[in-house]
Amino acid sequence: MSVSFLHGAGSLVCDGIDAGHIEFSIAEPSDGPDTTRRGKLGNNKQAIATAMDAEKVELKLSDDHELLSLDVARAGEEAGEHCFVRREV
């Protein structure tokens, strides 16, 4: 299975409110039946903390008006800035 990466800067939108600017990297399978996307968010602890408590989290890409829906969860012991995300499909 091949994988491509979507990475760059954007804004986290939590429950309809812009929580702040973040950097992201999301792995996206290019083929095969697996539709799960995983990656990490960083460089804004406050926005990530807000996302952890939100019911609906979306990523607004800086160069696009599209919103990507995310499920956000802590990544093990890296409790600082990095969280794994899964894009809902």
How many whole angstroms separate alpha carbon 1 and alpha carbon 15? 34
How many whole angstroms separate alpha carbon 27 and alpha carbon 7? 9
Q: Give pLDDT, residue 75.
A: 66
Q: Give pLDDT, residue 17.
A: 96
**Full-model pTM:** 0.77
- For 14-40, the pLDDT digits (tens) are 999 999 999 988 877 766 555 566 788
Burial 19-33 (b: 16+ CB within 10 A, else e): bbebebebeeeeeee
